[in-house]
Amino acid sequence: MRLTLVSDAWTPQVNGVVRTLTTTVAHLTARGHVVQTITPDRFVSVPCPTYPEIRLALTTPYRVGALIAGFRPEAVHIATEGPLGWLARGWCVKRGVPFTTSFHTRFPDYVAARTKLSPAFLWRVLTRFHAAARRTLVATPRLAAELAEHGLTRTRPWSRGVDLAQFNPQVPAPAAYAGLARPIMLSVGRVAVEKNIAAFLAADVPGTKVVVGDGPALTAMRARFPDAVLLGSLGGAPLAAAYAGADVFVFPSLTDTFGLVMIEALASGVPVAGFPVAGPLDVVGANGCGTVAGWRAPVGAVDADLATAIRGALTADRADCAAYAAHFRWEACVDQFVAGLADIEEPVALA
């Protein structure tokens, strides 16, 4: 298969969306598929306001269309609702080229958290974007139900996986953890208001709170919570070590669609604590015993009081957490992605 993948989120960004897309592309290529990526690194770009890690591509519908037509894809997938996503969508709609989309981020809720504006308008914009697709791929049934409330009913599952070779309990703890009071509570993600990091750092529990990630609120969090250990952005082996050396992983976000970092933590043998919202409920489950059929052992805890969730998660067995995470296989996720694509029956033309 020849696939065109369009995304405004791409390397060198470090987040779950980029890891999902790059991992999927790597697996597709290994299977013999040919993938064209139309991403910001191919164009002149400018930093996104308030989120400079994201680069906004400056280009034209003609150039995006020429790239697609020149590649002659058998399927087009538009992963994000940024400038490139809208240009590709418009080009495909104008020419009757079928395409699929995926819903990764609750931008309306992010904007509301940053500006206090109502998210209703942005939901209408996102609904218009995805309504033109043959189908929209979503990570969980809960997210599919939420999108259906906004009129997007043509959804298909596209779950998430974890690299068990990279994230596992045998990885040695990092030197940065030496001498820290236990339990070590870890959170990984962008340090920004929409990630609700302050709720984690303010939780009244003994031990040491560690944050891995960068973002606009990093300086403010360091000043407000001087006892916390904020390590900045990590990747590769250092990130795997940060997971494996922790006693509990805390996911304080109220707005994520899934939370890939949770299954990376579980694969590292680390139980997960979070609020009873989408993301933690989809991974840890309402009773802390996961969401995989037939699984019964605790792998974490959710509670409206984050400190209570942390204390509950600390009782889970690390071996159970790692075994549970093994159910989240990238191979199965890529199978879902391929099954969800829309075939292009006629050759794509530029005119």
Predicted confidence band of residue 346 (pLDDT cuts 50, 70, 90): confident
Instruction: Report the pLDDT value the prediction gives residue 156, as an integer from 0 to 100.
Output: 97
Angle 318-325/260-267 helices, nearest 10 degrees? Answer: 130
Hey, what are 314's tokens? 């600390």
Residue 101, beta-bridge partner list: 78, 136
Rounded to two decimals, the pTM is: 0.92
Under 8 Å between Cβ of 36 and 2 = yes
Q: How far apart are CA 56 and CA 14, in angstroms?
A: 16
Question: Is the sign of the CA dihedral 100, 105, 106, 109 positive or negative?
Answer: negative
Q: Which of 6, 104, 15 is nearest to 59 (CA)?
A: 6
Tokens 């519908």 correspond to 61
> What would the pLDDT profile of 83-121 be if each residue is shown by its tens digit?
999 999 999 999 999 999 999 988 777 666 666 667 888
Hey, what are 304's tokens? 């409206």
Q: How far apart are CA 161 and CA 12, in angstroms?
A: 20
CA distances from 157 to 20, 103, 145, 332, 344 (A): 14, 11, 12, 11, 20
> What would the pLDDT profile of 212-263 be if each residue is shown by its tens digit?
999 999 999 999 999 999 999 999 999 999 999 999 999 999 989 899 999 9
198 φ/ψ angles, rounded to the nearest 5 degrees: -60, -35
Region 276-295: what's the mean pLDDT? 96
Q: How far apart are CA 233 and CA 231, in angstroms?
A: 7
Hey, what are 309's tokens? 């969730």
Alpha helices in the chain (DSSP H): 16-30, 61-71, 83-95, 107-115, 120-131, 141-149, 197-201, 218-224, 236-244, 260-267, 280-283, 306-313, 318-325, 330-340
- The gap between the terminal CA atoms of the chain, to the nearest Å, is 23
Is the peptide bond preceding residue 183 cis, with omega within 30 degrees of 0?
A: yes
User: Strand 155-157 to strand 51-57: parallel, antiparallel, or no bridges (unpaired)?
Assistant: unpaired
Q: Which of 302, 288, 218, 297 is nearest to 253 (CA)?
A: 302
Q: How far apart are CA 12 and CA 233, in angstroms?
A: 12
Under 8 Å between Cβ of 21 and 5 = yes
User: Strand 51-57 to strand 45-48: parallel, antiparallel, or no bridges (unpaired)?
Assistant: antiparallel
Judge whether residue 128 has pLDDT over 70. yes
Hey, what are 17's tokens? 């969306």
Instruction: Report the pLDDT value the prediction gives residue 349, as an integer from 0 to 100.
Output: 67
Under 8 Å between Cβ of 295 and 307 = no
Instruction: Report the pLDDT value the prediction gives residue 277, as an integer from 0 to 100.
Output: 96
> What would the pLDDT profile of 170-229 be if each residue is shown by its tens digit?
999 999 999 999 999 999 999 988 899 999 999 999 999 999 999 999 999 999 999 999
Q: How far apart are CA 274 and CA 278, in angstroms?
A: 10
Under 8 Å between Cβ of 122 and 107 = yes
Domains and CATH numbers, the chain: 2-161+332-340 (3.40.50.2000), 175-328 (3.40.50.2000)
Angle 330-340/16-30 helices, nearest 10 degrees? Answer: 80
